[in-house]
Structure 1
Amino acid sequence: MPSIPGKYQHYKNENMEEYFGAIGVPYMGRKMMGLSSPLMEITVEGDNVSIKTTSMLRTIENKFQVGAEYEDPMPGITLKSVTKIVNGNELVTESVIPDTGVKSGRHYLFTDDECVITFTHEKTPMAGKRFFKRVQ
């Protein structure tokens, strides 16, 4: 079974600009996110998970406890999220956008070689994907 902890380097996107456009992210924000190629480092200690994402512009570290609600900072907004570990090789995050109740999600699927993150949003059937190669 693949391990979740590790370092992952982004190498490609699939439908991300279209996905961000569908959920209302402004043009410049979509372009900047699409051009970024961050390094993601994930650590797991018991029920505590840390996802640290480093790009040329900034470093964001998100720490949370599996199964517990937490504040999930995103550019321009902070979501209320809950993340579960599924099948030992998946992180599933369900989020609610404050003041609107709109739901979104991120599904991290880990293999021996990579992590694929699928982004979903209840306002659009379109999903976006980011692909990361395991580097450590």
Structure 2
Amino acid sequence: MAPIAGKYQHVENVKFFELMKKAGYPEDKASAADKTRAVVTLTIDGDKVTTKVEEVGDVVENHFVLGQESDEKHPGGFVSKTTITKEGDGLKFVSKESGGKFLTRLYKFTDAGFEVVLNFEGFEAKRIYKRL
């Protein structure tokens, strides 16, 4: 089983721009999000998970308890109601977006990094990160 905790660099997207557009983001914001190369730090201590996302000029840190809904802040100031659960060797984030729609992010970890499979209304995209 690959460790979850660590520091990661975003390296690639697959259909992420399209997912952002489908989720209702304006084209300029979807394009900007698609081009970012964030550094993500994950820590896990028992049932507590902390995420820290560093993008150009913006650092967002969130604290979660597995199985409990929390306010999740995103770069750019957007906030969603998110619940994290363990799923196999990974983490599953389920976020309630505006309009009552849901975005699911399944984090799959390897020794080299992690892949996030995002699903919004049946449309899938991926974000790939390498372990630093």
Are 2:130 and 1:133 equivalent residues in the alignment? yes
Question: Match of 1:54?
Answer: 54
**Which runs of 5 or more structure 2 residues have no equivalent in the other structure?**
none
1: CA distance, partners of 2:77 / 2:58: 14
Figure out how many residues of one structure are paired with residues of the other and give that number.
131
Question: Match of 1:82?
Answer: 83
2: CA distance, partners of 1:19 / 1:114: 22
Cα RMSD between the aligned structures? 1.3
Superposition TM-score, scaled by structure 1 size? 0.89
1: CA distance, partners of 2:35 / 2:101: 27
Q: Deviations over 1:5-37 (max 9, x none)?
A: 001111111001111111211111011111110
Structure 1 residue 103: Cα displacement: 1.6
Q: Which amino acid aligns with 1:103?
A: F
Provide the secondary structure at the position in 1 that maps to 2:33.
helix
1: CA distance, partners of 2:35 / 2:116: 16
Question: Match of 1:65?
Answer: 65
Superposition TM-score, scaled by structure 2 size? 0.92
Q: Which amino acid aligns with 2:16?
A: M
Structure 1 residue 73: Cα displacement: 2.0
Structure 1 residue 76: Cα displacement: 5.1
Q: Indicate conservation of the 8 Å contact 2:41/2:51, yes or no.
A: yes
2: CA distance, partners of 1:129 / 1:97: 18
Q: Percent identity?
A: 27
Q: Which amino acid aligns with 1:70?
A: S
Q: Which amino acid aligns with 1:44?
A: I
